[in-house]
Amino acid sequence: MPSVGVVGGGQLARMMVPPAIALGIDLRVLAESEGSSAAIAATAVGDYTDVETVLRFAEGLDVITFDHEHVPQAVLAALVEKGVAVRPGPEALAHSQDKLVMRARLEELGLPQPEWASISTSAQLGDFLDAHGGSAVVKTPRGGYDGKGVRVVRSAGEADDWLDVGAPLLVEQLVSFRRELAQLVARRPSGELVFWQVVETVQEGGVCSEVVAPAPGSDGRFGQVAAEIASGIAEGLDVTGVLAVELFETTDDRLLVNELAMRPHNSGHWTIDGSTTSQFEQHLRAVLDLPLGDTGLRDKWSVMVNILGGPATGSIAQRMPRAMADQPAVKLHEYGKEPRPGRKVGHVTASGDDLDDVVFRARAASAFFEN
């Protein structure tokens, strides 16, 4: 039985469990705490920043992979030194851990991205603003997620609190975009690479709320460009496993890379129900260097809606029966997490031939879990 260890016990690790069972993979999870989302597979609970804890967890496992990108490089290096197969590898992961590292490397690779700079003073931010029409987006290079660590600024002093910390910041042009997209790919260590169709992602307040698969109007040249960008990144950075490339479709018809995730991603949850091979199954296949699965669509359209926050009263479980009865064709996924404002506690996916109907059914099902 091949064995895979996942560092991190969130919903991504949880959703790897069903395909692991189906494929006969021994899946083990190092969770942050008891009662994690992936508790069903959590064989260890401990601190992923502690070298000894992670080395002990890795003993006897074929491959180590991740539910998040926060494992320190020192811990990754210790795993590699012990001969553990770490996938994606530390060098690749550095590009999803630090947005400045990512921007510099994408520039070397000649891939399209917003204009950017590394800044350490408000005067440098002022210069960037002057050169870019007076507005920009400042980002903390590390540790941001769901829009935290991202700020639109219009004057040089607006990032002073972050600059006071003493580490350089990333500043980007404020991109005028029509919509946001995500291109998901999977790559094996031996080089095989597959794509799903590019999807449209809708964000509310920096958090993904809905995904439409495939992105309307993306079948032709446009989908091809997204796939070329993502394969350039997967190969250029030697990524193994699933890679999600978040893209801006600009108002002047270009695709620019926003950021990268080297693991299954929220923009790919629809694949569980809408694709022949889900991103979770594919990630396991890819990190084990097994032949990759077909990425074809099961239906013409799939729409995923996140359940953000969850019910204000009662639990998701209590709301399930009504959602099930009202929308029997919608697939419901809950993450075993306590409801909390803004928290991703589950998602729903509807699929079918008519996009309006699919959107309606997905939203109708998710509404049972709100308020």
Q: What residues line the site for ligand ADP (CB under 6 A)?
A: 114, 137, 139, 144-150, 172, 174-175, 180, 203, 206, 246, 258-259
Q: CB-wise, 62 or 246, nearer to ligand ADP?
A: 246
Residue 99 vs 285, nearer CB to ligand ADP = 99
Of 178 and 298, nearer to ligand ADP (C-beta) is 178
Least distance in Å: CB of 314 to ligand ADP? 30
Q: Minimum CB separation from ligand ADP for residue 56, in Å?
A: 31
Shortest distance, CB of residue 143 to ligand ADP, whole angstroms?
A: 9
Minimum distance between the CB of residue 138 and ligand ADP, rounded to whole angstroms? 10
3-state SS track over the chain: CCEEEEECCCHHHHHHHHHHHHHCCEEEEEECCCCCCCHHHEEEECCCCCHHHHHHHHCCCCEEEECCCCCCHHHHHHHHHCCCEECCCHHHHHHHHCHHHHHHHHHHCCCCCCCEEEECCHHHHHHHHHHCCCCEEEECCCCCECCECEEEECCHHHHHHHHCCCCCEEEEECCCEEEEEEEEEEECCCCCEEECCCEEEEEECCEEEEEEECCCCCCCHHHHHHHHHHHHHHHHCCCCEEEEEEEEEECCCCEEEEEEECCCCHHHCCHHHHECCCHHHHHHHHHCCCCCCCCCECCCEEEEEEEECCCCCCCHHHHHHHHHHHCCCCEEEECCCCCCCCCEEEEEEEEECCHHHHHHHHHHHHHCCCC
Min separation Cβ 122 and ligand ADP, Å = 19
Nearest approach, Cβ of residue 75 and ligand ADP (Å): 21
For ligand ADP, which is the closer residue by CB, 157 or 206?
206
Nearer to ligand ADP, 211 or 323 (CB): 211
Smallest separation (angstroms) from ligand ADP to the CB of 317: 29
Handedness of CA 224, 110, 255, 343 (dihedral sign): positive
CB 58 within 8 A of CB 79: yes
- Tell me whether residue 79 or residue 93 sits nearer to ligand ADP (CB atom): 93
∠76-82-86 over CA atoms, to 5°?
A: 45
Residue 128 or 280 having the CB closest to ligand ADP: 128
| 139 versus 269: smaller Cβ distance to ligand ADP | 139
- Taking the complex as a whole, the smallest distance from the CB of residue 329 to ligand ADP amounts, in Å, to 30
